[in-house]
Structure 1
Amino acid sequence: MIVWLSSFPRSGNTFFRIALQRFYRVPTYVVYDVDGVAERIGTDLMDARDRPGTFEQMRASPEVHFVKTHRRRDDPVIDDQDRAICLVRDGRDCVVSWARLGTAGAAGEVDYPDRFAAEAKSIITRRDGGTASWGQNVLSWRKSAAPRSVWVRFEDLIVDPEGSVKAAVSEAAPELQPIAEGQVPTFDDLRRHDPSFFRAGKTGTYRAELSEELHDLFWQQPESAEAMQLLGYERKSA
């Protein structure tokens, strides 16, 4: 059986994988040929492993396979019968976090604000690739008629990782039972491990980091505006 861990980038997928390993002692896999996050932060934090077989073999197995993806629900490798845990975060915070990660090597340079703004604009308006824009990505999972999609909000995950993960798994894969001694590292611990990747672990960072122009541009994207309203994220001044 496959349970997709789906999200737009920078929505808490890695933190969820870490918590999942701590509470259930299960490995996680990725839809991609290479797990870039595992290569960066190491495999032990989330017990990241190579896929044990084809997607068809994993799907047919009675064992639960948690597979991370940033792709839309209509990706060819995703079947309608597959279950999913969908991680979602305010799209504006996703944009800021992903743009900061993408421009981290230029931090401190004179033209860094311009580089960050260009990166953020590219993320907001992207239409290509399997990830697409934040709104397109979220809506592809939110509007799917496929069964058993469980939604986990980033703001709940960071406040109560144990409650959020256990509630999601109990619905998506009720056959699994948590272990008693599980404990999740704090964001301070994770920042010490990799401060550029584990950047803030907070909500509302867009208010201080996203310009009014970029904030307006985000809301001008029809799918992003629809997804924000559907999920109850309100428009506020940048």
Structure 2
Amino acid sequence: MTDGNDILLEAKGLCAWYGAAQILYDVGLEVRRGEVVALMGRNGAGKSTTLKSLIGMLDRRRGSVVFMGADISKSETHQITRSGLGFVPEDRRIFTDLTVTENLEVGRQPPRFWPDRSAAPVWTPERLFKLFPNLGEMPDRLGGRMSGGEQQMLTVARSLMGNPYLVLLDEPSEGVAPVIVEQMAQMILELKSQGVSILLSEQNMHFAELVSDRAYVLEKGQIRYEGAMAELSANEEVRRTYLSV
């Protein structure tokens, strides 16, 4: 059992709005060191909004968000990413007129250390090309001339160039070919083995089962279930009620 010192990210009472419409209602979750956590739910359940709230992208949000022991509830997105929280948005947002290598350089940040002064994972283009062989074959290709799956990998790789302690991954398996989904799963397991924690929003139950230790289930902006991924897999009632289409 991990202790409180292992909690990298903790949100309590998280509420968020788009304009006048409230999307999140008192969401609470935590991610520990070396853990992959799935945030699951149907389309419109509030998964992406939760990640954007955690990374500071929404103007109207309320609640407590603590990352690496520091309160980031009122911090700006650029401050949060500099502190070692990575974010891979669903819409990818790569620089289409820059090459793969140039995109990676944009994300570069200095090496980081855990509170006990041990080194956190350090990522270089060379290491990332081993993790993503597809990218290694096209270092000089422009971002705009890549497939959707390749762009997805590049976005993840660019985030890793920031040497994050924890990565927020928004719908990594959405809209990419099955072979890319398989590679994404392998990539997440490899990151976990390197000590990177991941919070991923996901609808694909099979994908989530392959990579996740624990899961939270969102419905209409509220956490309806939390537990081990294996328990969610075995709980047909919860899956039918909150996840089936």
Normalising by structure 2, we get a TM-score of 0.30
> Quick check: which one's helix share is greater?
1
> Quick check: which one's strand share is greater?
2
Normalising by structure 1, we get a TM-score of 0.31
